[in-house]
Amino acid sequence: MNRQSLTRHSDFEWWIEPTGKMRVPAVIYAGEHLIDEMDEKVREQITNVATLPGIQRAAYAMPDAHWGYGFPIGGVAAFDPKEGGVISAGGVGFDISCGVRALHSALTADEIEPLKEELAEALFESVPAGVGSRGAIRLSELEMDEMLRGGAEWAIGRGYGKPEDLERIEEHGCASGARPECVSHEAKKRQAQEMGTLGSGNHYLEVQRVAEIFDSTSAAAFGLKVNDIVLSIHCGSRGLGHQVGTDYLKTMVIDGYRPIPDRELACAPIWSELGQHYLGAMRAATNCALANRQIITHLVRGAFAQVMPNADLALLYDVSHNTCKIEQHSVDGASRELFVHRKGATRAFGPGHPDLPPGLRDAGQPVLIGGTMGTESYVLVGTGESERLAFSSACHGAGRAMSRTQATKLWHGRQLVDELRAKGVLIRTRSFRGVAEEAPGAYKDVNAVAEAAEHAKLARRVVRLVPVICVKG
Amino acid sequence: MPRWEHFSHGADIGIRGIGESADEAFEQAALALSAVVADISTIAPKERVEVRCDAPDLELLLVSWLNAIIYEMAVRGMLFGEFHVAVSGHSLTGTLIGETADPERHHAAVEAKGATVTALKVARQQDGQWMAQCVVDV
């Protein structure tokens, strides 16, 4: 992105002042290097978001922003329904409530080392991953609707996990206001065999080691020490969420709010019938994602129990990064109820936020940043400033630096797996081409993204995690 | 000659079909979609699935067509390597020919989540060839 067309407010904050139909400015949080690398499409898309009705303060792009669908991936925008605010299917994304869940084990890296191969096999056998993988759970129509209303709470009621898990999931594991009747028959059919599956693409299950601590106070609050073993799950709402996104994108393109600068920004007024139906369906898909990650958690605990029965995997946190949530925010000195879209962006509540569970309220919310199978991931913590800067939001991952097509020309999956093994990272996959498409070199430097989030004061780095085992979706 | 290709999108992948008619361009775009998922030369023509789609315009018809294929792949657990399309106005009938996905043989790389309206274009080009393209979320 050309820096000269941006107004620099600080080393990590760049503005596009409102022109034409923009109702608010667009603000990009990133260092010089990330700005230089950023796709020009991010500028175009975040500028378009700033034209939507009811948008508050500014349209924001996180340090990992890249070309998305209508909204950039790494985009944040909040809308006030009282000012004609809209909800956008593209602003949430196709994989509704895709997110990261981190489990903290009682094990150290040294304890895992001699049993790594067995553990990798047990995880690969236990959690269905990859294209067309099927879960063992089949739901009747009635049960499907119960799952869509109950989320992780439903899953725990069925024996997949522990009640104490709920405290460490956004909204206590259940998005309220879900309306299964607004989810199409096709979406439910697509989900019929996909409960408890990881999916494919950039989704993964990783055993990780805490390699470095940046903020010892927050690390202590999260219970994390160097060499601790963490397990991270990155996946979303599977076929149901994808179909809800597909169904409503089409309907919003045909019957949604007009005029819009680009068809892919299709949206509907929040209080319109279409807007309300989408919200009900999106919350149902959110519950599908939460139930899915809960079932996978149960499968992971079972796999660990076979190999290392003393793992004691407790939930550190579960946070979604493709969402629209109702939140209270201060605008022009008044507290307002806003619909905050985060497309490829993570909620990052700072210390003292009333929605955080007691165990995390003093420290702030863990912000889980997924990296690549060959590099690293991060746990950050929300800051007090983040609310003012970007409605309490931060980045969600490294963000791709090149397309899948380019990646497969540069890397070979089998060779990558061998190279990573030589570095001590075990990969389990059903597709070497899939590994090549997800090559670590195809992503931006997650270290630079995490550092930029910290310098911009969106969130603060707590620990760096390095992969030990990766089950690739 | 009808043909298909992929084009770059930051996070996902663009698919493009080119042919003598809109029918052919849609068939080729479907092949490009299948090739995102797996090597289409490995897919045997064992089963046929019929679909019907309609939309308010030709471009959204392409999105509906591709989403119908994605849906059939997902719910049937199949891969398709051959397509026949008859476009009539803003509707079409299509035949999808393929087989049940086999992880050992097809090594499918990635699921398609949905066809998007990003970089969506269906048009007759200056050389008289039809082109149909969009980005697919994977």
Contacts of A118 (CB under 8 A, 6+ apart): A307
Residue A86 CB coordination number (10 Å):
27
Nearest residue of B to residue A398, measured between CA atoms: B11
**Kind and range of the H or E run holding A388:** helix A386-390
Q: What pLDDT does A400 receive?
A: 81
**Pair of tokens at residue A156:** 């725990």
- Portion 375-414 of A in contact with B at CB < 8 A: 399-400, 402-406
CA distance A78 to A325: 9
Specify whether domain A3-401+443-472 bears CATH 3.10.450.240.
no
Interface probe, candidates A250, A396, A443, chain B, greatest B C-beta count within 10 A: A250
End-to-end CA distance of chain A: 32
Residue B81 has pLDDT above 80, yes or no: yes
To the nearest whole Å, the CA of B134 is away from the closest chain A CA by 11
Q: How high does pLDDT run on average in chain B? A: 95
3.40.50.10070, 3.55.10.10, 3.30.1490.70, 1.25.40.10: which CATH number matches B3-137?
A: 3.55.10.10
Residue ranges covered by each domain of chain B: 3-137
Q: What pLDDT does A58 receive?
A: 98
Chain-centre distance of CA A46, in angstroms? 19
pTM > 0.90: yes
Residue B10 has pLDDT above 80, yes or no: no
Q: What pLDDT does B103 receive?
A: 85
Residue contact B114–A131, C-beta within 8 A: no
CB A128 within 8 A of CB A198: yes
DSSP A24-72: S-EEEE--HHHHHHS-HHHHHHHHHHTTSTTB-S-EEEEEEEEEEESEE
* φ, ψ dihedrals at B23, nearest 5°: -55, -50
Positive or negative, the Cα torsion across A324, A330, A332, A334? positive
**Kind and range of the H or E run holding A229:** strand A228-235
Q: What pLDDT does A388 receive?
A: 97
pLDDT tens sequence across A62-78:
999 998 889 999 999 99
Mean pLDDT by 10 residues, chain A (473 residues): 94 97 98 94 96 98 92 97 97 96 97 97 96 91 97 98 97 98 97 95 96 98 98 97 96 96 94 98 98 98 97 97 97 96 98 96 97 92 97 92 86 96 95 92 93 98 98 94
SS (H, E, C) A416-468: HHHHHHHCCCEEECCCHHHHHHCCHHHECCHHHHHHHHHHCCCEEEEEEEEEE
Q: What pLDDT does A258 receive?
A: 94
Nearest residue of A to residue B135, measured between CA atoms: A69
B115 touches chain A (CB under 8 A): yes
Contacts of B138 (CB under 8 A, 6+ apart): A200, A201, A404, B12, B13, B36, B110, B111, B112, B113
B9 band by pLDDT with thresholds 50, 70 and 90:
confident
Q: What pLDDT does A467 receive?
A: 97
pLDDT tens sequence across A90-134:
999 999 999 999 999 999 999 999 999 999 999 999 999 999 889
B107 touches chain A (CB under 8 A): yes
